[in-house]
Structure 1
Amino acid sequence: MKLVHVYIEHAAMQLNRTFAYDGGNFNVQRGMRAVVPFHHRELIGFIDKVEEIDDRDAAGFPYELKKIVDVIDDRPLICDELFELASWMSHYYIAPMISCFQVMLPAKLKPRTTRHTIKTEVWVRYVKSAECLTVKQKAALQKLRESQEMLRSDFYAKYKSVGKKLLEKGCAEAFFKEASAHRQIRPGTASPFTLSEEQQNAIACIQGWKKHHVHLLHGATGSGKTEVFLRLAQDVIEQGKQVLILVPEISLTPQMVKRVEDRFGSQVAIYHSALNNQEKYEQFQLVYKKQVKIVVGTRSAVFMPFHDLGLIVMDEEHDASYKQENAPRYHCRDVAIWRGQYHRCPVVLASATPSLESYARAYKGKYQLVEMPGRINQQFPQVQLVAMRNAVRRGDDYLLSQELLNAIKARIKRQEQIILLLNRRGYTPILRCVSCGHVQMCPHCDIAMSYHKEEQLLKCHTCGHQEPMPYACPACGAHTWRYLGAGTQKLEELLHQQLPEAKLIRMDADTTSRKYAHQQLLQRFEQHEADILLGTQMIAKGLDFANVTLVGILNGDALLNRTDYRCVEMTFDLLEQACGRSGRGDKKGEVIIQAYDPAHYAIQLAAAHQYRRFFKEEMKYRHIAKYPPYAYLGSLVFIHRDQKIAGKDAHNAAKRLYGKADRILGPSELTKVKDEYRYRIILKGKDREALVELLMETYQYHRSQKLHSRLELDIDPLVLD
Structure 2
Amino acid sequence: MEKVADIYIEYTAMAVDQSYLYKVNQYNVEKGMRVYIMFAGRKIVGIIDRVYEMPKTELDALPYKVQAIDSVIDEDVLLNEEAFHLARFMANRCVASVMSCFQAMLPSKLKPKSTKQNIRKEVYVIYQQDKEVKGQKQKEALAYLQEHPKIKRQDFNKRYSCLQRFIELGIVVLQEEEKQAEVEQINLACDHFKLQEAQQQALDKIKAIAGHHVHLLHGVTGSGKTEIFLQLASEVLAQGKQVLILVPEIGLTAQMVERVTCRFGKSVAIYHSNLNNQQKYEQYKLVKEKKVQIVVGTRSSVFMPFEQLGLIVLDEEHDASYKQDSQPRYHCRDLAIERARYHDCPIVLASATPSLESYARAYKGNYQLLELKERIHKNMPVVHVVDMKESMKHDHDALLSVSLKNAIYERLEKNEQVILLLNRRGYTPVLRCLDCGEVKKCPHCDIALNYHKQTNRLVCHYCEYHEPAYFVCSSCGSKNISTSGFGTQRLEEYLDELFPQARVVRMDQDTMRRKDMHEVVLREFEQHKYDILVGTQMIAKGLDIPNVTLVGIVNADASLQREDFRSVEVTFDLLVQASGRSGRGDKIGEVIMQAYQKEHYAIRCAQNQDYDTFFKKEMQFRHLGKYPPYTYLASLIFTNDKVDQIYQDIDTCFEVFDYPNVHHLRAVQLQKRKDTLRVRKILKCANLDELIASVHFIKNELLKNKCKSKLEIDINPLFLE
Structure-1-length-normalised TM-score: 0.98
Deviation track 1:292-321 (CA, whole Å, cap 9, x = no partner) reads 000000111001100100000000000111
Q: Shift of residue 641 of structure 1?
A: 2.0
Deviation at 1:244, TM superposition (A): 0.2
Q: Name the structure 2 match of 1:2.
A: 3
Question: What CA distance in whole angstroms lies between the structure 2 residues aligned with 1:307 and 1:25?
Answer: 30
Preserved contact between residue 661 and residue 683 of structure 1 (Cα < 8 Å)? no
C-alpha contact (below 8 Å) 2:133/2:139 kept by paired residues:
no
Give secondary structure in 2 for the equivalent of 1:357.
Answer: helix
**CA distance in 2 between partners of 1:666 and 1:174 (Å):** 68
Deviations 1:59-83 (A, max 9, x none): 3333221010011000111001111
> In the TM superposition, what is the alpha-carbon distance from 1:702 to its structure 2 partner?
1.4
- CA contact under 8 A between 2:3 and 2:25: conserved in structure 1? yes
Deviates more, 1:6-15 or 1:545-554: 6-15
Structure 1: how far apart are the matches of 2:25 and 2:266?
43
Partner amino acid, structure 1, of 2:461: H
Identify unmatched segments of 5+ residues in structure 2.
none
CA distances 1:590-621 after superposition (whole Å, capped 9, x unpaired):
00000000100011001100001111111011
Aligned to 1:113: 114
Looking at structure 1, the residues matched to 607 and 412 of structure 2 have their Cα atoms a distance apart, in angstroms, of: 24
Q: Which runs of 5+ in 1 are unaligned?
A: none
Alignment of 1:496 with 2:501, yes or no, is: no
State the Cα distance separating 1:191 from its structure 2 match: 1.9
Give the structure 2 partner of residue 292 of structure 1: 292
Equivalent residues of 1:188, 1:266 under 8 A apart: no
**Deviations along 1:508-536, whole A, 9 cap, x unmatched?**
00000110010011111011111000000
Q: Is 1:576 matched with 2:576? A: yes
Give the whole-Å Cα distance in 2 for the aligned partners of 1:598 and 1:509: 29
SS of the equivalent of 2:161 reads helix
Counterpart in the other structure of 1:254: 254
Letter in 2 for 1:469: A
SS at match of 2:666: strand
CA distance in 2, matches of 1:642, 1:170: 71
Tell me which moved more, 118-127 or 12-21: 12-21
Q: How has the CA–CA distance of structure 1 residues 141 and 265 changed in structure 2, closer, same or farther, with 3 Å as cutoff?
A: farther
Q: Distance in 1 between matches of 2:134 and 2:367?
A: 70
Alignment of 1:245-644 (within 5 A): 245-644=245-644
Runs of 4+ with deviation above 6 angstroms: none
Distance of aligned partners of 1:185 and 1:210 in 2 relative to their CA distance in 1, 3 Å threshold: closer
Cα 1:605/1:636, change in 2 over 3 Å: same
Structure 2: which amino acid aligns with 1:113?
S
Equivalents in 1 of 2:447, 2:508: separation in Å? 20
Q: Distance in 2 between matches of 1:627 and 1:706?
A: 33
Q: CA deviation at 1:689?
A: 1.4
Aligned partners of 1:2, 1:648: CA distance in 2, in Å?
Answer: 47
Q: Quick one: distance in 1 between partners of 2:129 and 2:212?
A: 60
Closer, same or farther: CA 527–359 of 1 in aligned 2, 3 Å: same
Counterpart of 1:474 in structure 2: which amino acid? S
Are the structure 2 counterparts of residues 126 and 469 from structure 1 closer, same or farther at C-alpha, using a change threshold of 3 Å? same
Superposed displacement of residue 650, structure 1: 3.4
Q: Which residue of 1 aligns with 2:20?
A: 19
Kept in 1: contact 2:212–2:340 (CA 8 A) = no
* Bigger shift: residues 167-176 or 366-375: 167-176
Distance in 2 between residues matched to 1:410 and 1:59, nearest whole Å: 86
Look up the match of 1:41: 42
Residue number in structure 2 paired with 1:660: 660
Q: Following TM superposition, by how much is the alpha carbon of 1:162 offset from its aligned partner in structure 2, in angstroms?
A: 3.9
CA shift at 1:227, angstroms?
1.2
Sort the Cα spacing of 1:211 and 1:293 in 2 relative to 1 into closer, same or farther, 3 A.
closer
Matched letter for residue 105 of structure 2: M
Structure 2: how far apart are the matches of 1:665 and 1:61?
45
Alignment-derived partner of residue 694 in structure 1: 694
**Alpha-carbon distance between aligned partners in 2 of 1:349 and 1:152, rounded to the nearest angstrom:** 46
Q: In structure 1, how many angstroms separate the alpha carbons of the residues matched to 2:211 and 2:361?
A: 14
Whole-angstrom CA distance in 2 between matches of 1:399 and 1:655: 53
Contact 1:108 1:116 in 2 (8 A): yes
Range 148-157 or range 419-428, more displaced: 148-157
Aligned equivalents of 1:403, 1:417: Cα separation in 2: 16
Give the letter for the 2:85 counterpart: E
Q: Report the alpha carbon displacement of residue 435 of structure 1 after superposing the two structures with TM.
A: 1.6
| 2:669 and 2:678 in contact (8 A); partners too | yes
SS for the counterpart of 2:312 is strand
Deviations 1:695-717 (A, max 9, x none): 11111111222221111122111
Deviation, structure 1 residue 138: 2.8
Q: CA deviation at 1:89?
A: 1.4
User: Structure 1 residue 373: deviation in Å?
Assistant: 1.1
Identical amino acids, percent of aligned pairs: 51
1:539-588 per-position Cα deviation (integer Å, ceiling 9, x unaligned): 00011101000000000001100011000000000000000000000100
1:52 deviation in Å? 2.4
Q: Which residue type is aligned with residue 545 of structure 1?
A: I
Q: Which residue number in structure 1 is paired with residue 207 of structure 2?
A: 207
Distance in structure 2 (CA, Å) of the matches to 1:654 and 1:532: 55
| Paired AA for residue 234 in structure 1 | S
In the alignment, the residues of structure 2 paired with residue 150 and residue 688 of structure 1 have an alpha-carbon distance, to the nearest angstrom, of 56
- The equivalences for 1:113-192 within 5 A come to 113-157=114-158, 159-191=159-191
Per-residue CA distance 1:247-290 (angstroms, 9 max, x = gap) = 11112111111111222334310000000000000000000111
8 Å contact kept, 1:90–1:96: yes
Tell me the secondary structure at the aligned position of residue 665 of structure 2.
strand
- Cα distance in 1 for partners of 2:665, 2:108 equals 38
1:88 positional shift = 1.5
Report how many aligned residue pairs link the two structures. 720
Structure 2 contact 30–48 (Cα < 8 Å) conserved: yes
Whole-Å Cα distance in 2 between the matches of residues 198 and 165 of structure 1?
A: 68
> In 1, distance between residues paired with 2:196 and 2:332?
30
What is the CA-CA distance between 1:654 and the residue it aligns to? 5.2
Single out whichever of 650-659 and 701-710 deviates more from structure 2. 650-659
Secondary structure, counterpart of 1:161 in structure 2: coil
Which segment drifts farther, 161-170 or 110-119?
161-170
SS at match of 2:26: coil
SS, match of residue 689 in structure 2 = helix
TM-score (norm 2): 0.98
Amino acid at match of 1:261: T
